[in-house]
Amino acid sequence: AQTVTQSQPEMSVQEAETVTLSCTYDTSESDYYLFWYKQPPSRQMILVIRQEAYKQQNATENRFSVNFQKAAKSFSLKISDSQLGDAAMYFCAYIGYGQNFVFGPGTRLSVLP
């Protein structure tokens, strides 16, 4: 069964600085998708970024980018120019073809003014 690990339960970053959240996963599949979801205090899960495993190019969405290392099964999220509104729980997630999402345990990010 696929598993997703986030080794950092909590992290903090100074406003305007850069922070990287780690995620590793385990799968025997070759085609799959990886996601980062953000859950702010409002509890609404928001899709941050999506990566297709067959694409070597790392996905980027404005201040959010990923470092996807397929061989190492690593999928880290970099947040540049951190803002107070970035404070949230961040979940890494995996989905394979014909499967349901598998979520990591989450990383709580605090942004310090």
Q: Using CB under 8 A, pick the residue from 23, 91, 109, 111 that binds other proteins.
A: 91
CB-CB contact of 48 with 90 (8 Å): yes
42 binds other proteins (CB under 8 A): yes
Q: Using CB under 8 A, pick the residue from 8, 11, 33, 73 that binds other proteins.
A: 33
Residue 100 in tokens? 């349901």
CB-CB contact of 68 with 34 (8 Å): yes
Residue 105 in tokens? 């345990």
Binding site for other proteins (CB under 8 A): 4, 6, 9, 33, 35, 37, 42-45, 47, 50, 52, 91, 95, 97-98, 100-101, 103-106
